[in-house]
């Protein structure tokens, strides 16, 4: 990695933004006062977040991780207003009534790109994505989920295990009715898992990732808002994620050649109808200190 010292002035312009050293999360940049030269220390600690490059108004930062073609000027004139963002959040619903048509490839690409732009712990950028649109694979995802639930219910219902169930897995007994209902619905011919969605996006990280689940869910949120802005319906594949945790043989990961841990999944399709209204949530529960 190459990071050059920055002069106090560049092209005759006075550099007066004392916050520059403070914006570096690795504390690599130093500056004694607003007019002093910006120095460097412990550059081996750089996490390549790009803050120093993105903030410099004179393009004076030379960083080997960010050549010129990777640096872009942000157009703040087209950013949504706070009111527009809030309206988008109000519009977001887990719609499960879909059209039979496929989600346009360009929409799927934008959704994945938005997810990829999400922040990650220490800028690790260890999040990967698997997008499934093949109908046969989508069916297998539902089948693996149901088979996992059936195996789980059978184990929980075992008379030899029942007396010790609360010690082994508190609350597992309460899950039997819910899992059984999902199984029955699926076996009757209704897709209770993916609701006939035309695409599923899985978000996963290496097993060694310390903040994999957190990073994946940040990526999910980006993808969800982008999908909403595009008019694509989506819902969190909670049943599939539960089955992923329960299935120790990692059948789903093996089916999709996913190495690491699946943390989140999003079912995607074009909506059969749109919601012209939004409903208030329960009263906000907020504690301020």
What does the domain layout of the chain look like in residue ranges? 9-70, 80-289
> pLDDT grade, residue 160 (50/70/90)?
low
Residue 77 has pLDDT above 60, yes or no: yes
Q: Helix and strand tally (H, E) in the chain?
A: 9, 8
Residue 10 has pLDDT above 60, yes or no: no
pLDDT reported for residue 8: 44
More confident residue, 108 or 172: 108
- Looking at CATH, the fold of the domain delimited by 80-289 is given as NADH Oxidase (3.40.109)
Residues ≥6 apart with Cβ < 8 Å to 60: 6, 7, 10
pLDDT reported for residue 31: 81
Residue 281 has pLDDT above 60, yes or no: yes
Environment class of residue 78 by beta-carbon count within 10 Å: exposed (0-12), middle (13-18) or buried (19+)?
A: exposed
Report the pLDDT averaged over residues 129-148. 97
Residue 12 has pLDDT above 50, yes or no: no
Residues ≥6 apart with Cβ < 8 Å to 50: 63, 65, 66
- What letter would DSSP give residue 164? G
Tell me the whole-structure pTM to 2 decimals.
Answer: 0.86
For domain 9-70, give the CATH number. Answer: 3.30.70.20
CA dihedral 262, 267, 268, 273 (to 10 degrees): -160
Residue 166 has pLDDT above 70, yes or no: no
| Measured CA distances, 48 to 40, 72, 146 (Å) | 14, 16, 43
Residue 157 has pLDDT above 80, yes or no: no
More confident residue, 175 or 12: 175
Residue 159 has pLDDT above 80, yes or no: no
Residue 21 has pLDDT above 90, yes or no: no
Residues above pLDDT 90, as percent of the chain: 63
Residues 5/39, Cβ–Cβ less than 8 Å: yes
> pLDDT grade, residue 170 (50/70/90)?
low
Residues 260/209, Cβ–Cβ less than 8 Å: yes
């Amino acid at each position: 990695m190459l990071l050059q010292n920055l002069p106090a002035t560049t092209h005759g312009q006075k550099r007066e933004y004392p916050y520059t050293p403070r914006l570096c999360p690795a504390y690599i940049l130093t500056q004694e006062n607003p007019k002093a030269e910006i120095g460097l220390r412990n550059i081996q600690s750089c996490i390549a977040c790009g803050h120093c490059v993105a903030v410099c108004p004179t393009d004076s930062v030379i960083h080997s991780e960010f050549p010129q073609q990777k640096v872009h000027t942000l157009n703040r004139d087209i950013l949504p207003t706070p009111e527009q963002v809030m309206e988008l959040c109000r519009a977001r619903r887990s719609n499960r009534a879909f059209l039979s048509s496929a989600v346009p490839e360009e929409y799927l690409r934008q959704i994945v790109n938005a997810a990829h732009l999400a922040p990650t712990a220490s800028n690790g950028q260890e999040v990967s994505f698997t997008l499934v649109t093949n109908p046969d694979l989508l069916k297998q995802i539902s089948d693996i989920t149901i088979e996992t639930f059936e195996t789980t219910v059978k184990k929980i219902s075992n008379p030899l295990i029942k007396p010790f169930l609360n010690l082994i897995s508190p609350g597992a007994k309460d899950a039997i009715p819910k899992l059984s209902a999902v199984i029955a619905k699926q076996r009757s011919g209704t897709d209770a898992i993916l609701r006939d969605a035309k695409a599923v996006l899985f978000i996963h990280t290496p097993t060694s990732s310390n903040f994999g689940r957190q990073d994946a869910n940040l990526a999910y949120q980006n993808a969800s808002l982008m999908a909403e802005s595009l008019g694509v319906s989506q819902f969190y594949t909670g049943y599939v994620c539960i089955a992923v945790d329960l299935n120790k043989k990692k059948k789903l990961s093996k089916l999709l050649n996913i190495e690491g841990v699946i943390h989140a999944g999003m079912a995607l399709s074009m909506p059969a109808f749109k919601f012209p209204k939004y409903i208030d949530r329960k009263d906000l529960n907020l504690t301020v200190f």
